[in-house]
């Protein structure tokens, strides 16, 4: 089991509920940002979080959050509040070094782009 699965699953459940209750839709956005696709992504996280790597979970939940922002479902403060509630329920979760190493001035982090020989 990866460390982020319960936390990200709870975040996906929060997103799913908020998207489901929202009537906001901006049809001029690309289809991948439409609420129906964001709901599908939330469901996939909930169903598969235990088997997915942390990096993938973080990338997907970040995309969903951005899609919610783009649709006007939440604003920046709303996103922080939504996820603070979940993070407080999982106080044992630790920061993912891959997500915070760039803000440490003493860490010369590297990027793993993938697909390299």
* CA angle 79–85–87, rounded 5-degree value: 95
Q: What is the pLDDT of residue 1?
A: 46
Q: Express each pLDDT in 34-91 by its tens digit.
A: 999 999 999 999 999 999 998 899 999 999 999 999 999 999 888 888 878 777 777 6
* pLDDT at position 2: 59
Give the count of beta carbons closer than 10 Å to the beta carbon of residue 66: 13
Q: DSSP state, 2? A: -
Predicted TM-score of the model (pTM): 0.73
């Amino acid at each position: 089991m990866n460390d982020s699965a319960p936390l990200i699953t709870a975040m996906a459940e929060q997103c799913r509920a908020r998207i489901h209750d929202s009537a906001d839709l901006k049809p001029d956005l690309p289809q991948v940002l439409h609420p129906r696709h964001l709901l599908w992504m939330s469901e996939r996280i909930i169903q598969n979080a235990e088997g997915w790597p942390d990096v993938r979970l973080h990338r997907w939940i970040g995309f969903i959050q951005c899609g919610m922002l783009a649709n006007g479902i939440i604003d920046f403060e709303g996103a922080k509040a939504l996820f603070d509630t979940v993070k407080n329920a999982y106080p044992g979760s630790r920061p993912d070094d891959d997500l915070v190493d760039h803000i440490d001035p003493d860490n010369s982090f590297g990027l793993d782009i993938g697909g390299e020989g």
